[in-house]
């Protein structure tokens, strides 16, 4: 388990970059003033000390988390292959206080990624296999009964589907692992809307990876090439669907997604120090932006974040702020795929793209869920 000490993280990039990308369990992370962190739940590998297929005594590599207000659901990827060819994953159902799971949903073949509660009916949507052969399961979280849909993928596009966003204008999936053209451009869809007709899932492609958008930092038009569509989230204030171009270090904001008044803007992530980039870092030194896994907004002054630290074994941590959170603040988990701010959680400025780290020292932070405690 990680032990944190308070330190001046925000603005102190050099301090963060000096932290090893993989911290031993006995090492100390760094926590910004006014924040507090504590273990909320831990993985269980008693039935598989070296890892293995998912079961109630073998769950690790936590990823996405979601809540229906009564329970928290966390997806454990275990050894699941992203194309569904081997291994399995499982979803743990927790009381709001964490600790040991109340029960489990699954296991499911392959790798579980996107995990969302449908606000319309309370069902749990579980996406498996973001690289190929994608599967959507719509699960009754009370009974565990599931309806499975094989999601169609155009062979020309390749890939699968990674995450889910529910909005007033429709339900959307991020189209992950696309096949770029010979010049490296993603001319395939970034997202798709989903409907159900005749017992089948029908997907309608929307947007392409190589497109002209508004630069959120400057207000000018710019061209982006999003080659790695990953997680989805929704800004609760604007209703914008936000797509993480993960390896591209870019967030795509879609206002009025799926309508005739849809508007698209892009936010390049910062800071971008000139260092050896990549994992492992490779010379020469270049501008090296952070790579994030998930972005989530606060919806209440009082509440907390749950951070899924993906490891064997890993844990879910609870992050609180003593003075309370501001309205509609964005936070992101930063991966180790680039050294900049690697393995931290930070507050994201959605106008400039700068990430100010608030907690560091994780093994591999991925899922990020905000849980309000008073609804205001």
Beta carbons of 347 and 330 less than 8 angstroms apart: yes
**Strand blocks (E) in 226-314:** 229-234, 241-245, 250-255, 263-268, 274-277, 282-287, 292-297, 303-309
Residue with tokens 């070296």: 50
Give the C-alpha separation, 36 to 201, whole Å: 43
Beta carbons of 135 and 84 less than 8 angstroms apart: yes
The conformational region for residue 158 under phi > 0 = left, psi -120 to 50 = alpha, else beta, is left
Q: Where are the alpha helices (DSSP H) in 134-176?
A: none
Cis peptide, bond prior to residue 107, ω within 30 of zero:
yes
Q: Where are the alpha helices (DSSP H) in the chain?
A: 13-17
Domains of the chain by range and CATH?
3-372 (2.120.10.30)
Beta carbons of 263 and 214 less than 8 angstroms apart: yes
Q: What is the pLDDT of residue 375?
A: 56
Neighbouring-strand partners of residue 54: none
Residues in the chain with pLDDT values less than 70? 1, 3-4, 6-28, 375-376
Q: Which of 149, 114, 144 is nearest to 133 (CA)?
A: 149
Phi–psi pair at 151, nearest 5 degrees: -85, 130
Q: Are strands 200-208 and 189-197 parallel, antiparallel or unpaired?
A: antiparallel
Helix (H) or strand (E) holding 127: strand 124-128
Beta carbons of 211 and 223 less than 8 angstroms apart: yes
CB burial of residue 28 (10 Å; 0-12, 13-18, 19+): middle
Tell me the pLDDT tens digit for each residue of 261-308. 999 999 999 999 999 999 999 999 999 999 999 999 999 999 999 999
Q: What is the pLDDT of residue 106?
A: 95
């Amino acid at each position: 388990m990680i032990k944190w000490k308070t330190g001046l993280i925000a603005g102190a990039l050099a301090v963060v970059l000096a932290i090893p990308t993989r911290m031993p369990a006995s090492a100390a992370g760094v926590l910004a003033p006014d924040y507090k962190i504590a273990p909320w739940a831990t993985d269980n590998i008693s039935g598989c000390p070296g890892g293995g297929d998912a079961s109630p005594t073998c769950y690790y590599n936590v990823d996405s988390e979601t809540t229906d207000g009564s329970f928290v659901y966390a997806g454990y990827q275990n050894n699941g292959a992203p194309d569904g060819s081997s291994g399995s994953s499982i979803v743990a159902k927790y009381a709001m206080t964490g600790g040991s799971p109340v029960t489990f949903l699954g296991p499911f073949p392959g790798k579980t990624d996107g995990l969302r509660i449908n606000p319309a009916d309370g069902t749990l949507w579980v996406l498996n296999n973001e690289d190929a052969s994608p599967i959507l399961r719509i699960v009754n979280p009370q009974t565990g009964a599931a309806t499975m849909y094989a999601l169609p993928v155009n062979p020309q596009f390749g890939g699968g589907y990674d995450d889910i966003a529910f909005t007033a204008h429709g339900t959307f999936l991020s189209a992950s692992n696309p096949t770029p053209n010979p010049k490296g451009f993603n001319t395939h869809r970034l997202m798709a809307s989903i409907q159900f007709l005749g017992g089948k899932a029908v997907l309608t492609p929307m947007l392409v990876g190589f497109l002209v958008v508004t630069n959120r930092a400057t207000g000018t038009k710019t061209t982006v090439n999003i080659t790695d569509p990953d997680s989805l989230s929704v800004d609760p204030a604007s209703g914008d669907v936000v797509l993480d171009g993960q390896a591209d270090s870019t967030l795509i904001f879609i206002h009025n997604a799926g309508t005739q008044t849809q508007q698209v803007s892009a936010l390049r992530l910062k800071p971008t120090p000139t260092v050896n980039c990549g994992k492992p870092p490779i010379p020469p030194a270049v501008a090296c932006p952070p790579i994030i896994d998930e972005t989530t907004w606060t919806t209440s002054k009082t509440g907390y974040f749950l951070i899924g630290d993906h490891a064997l074994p890993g844990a879910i941590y609870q992050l609180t702020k003593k003075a309370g959170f501001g309205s509609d603040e964005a936070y992101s988990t930063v991966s180790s795929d680039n050294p900049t701010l690697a393995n931290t959680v930070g507050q994201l400025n959605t106008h400039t793209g700068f990430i100010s780290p608030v907690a560091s020292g994780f093994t591999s932070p991925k899922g990020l869920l905000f849980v309000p405690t008073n609804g205001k």
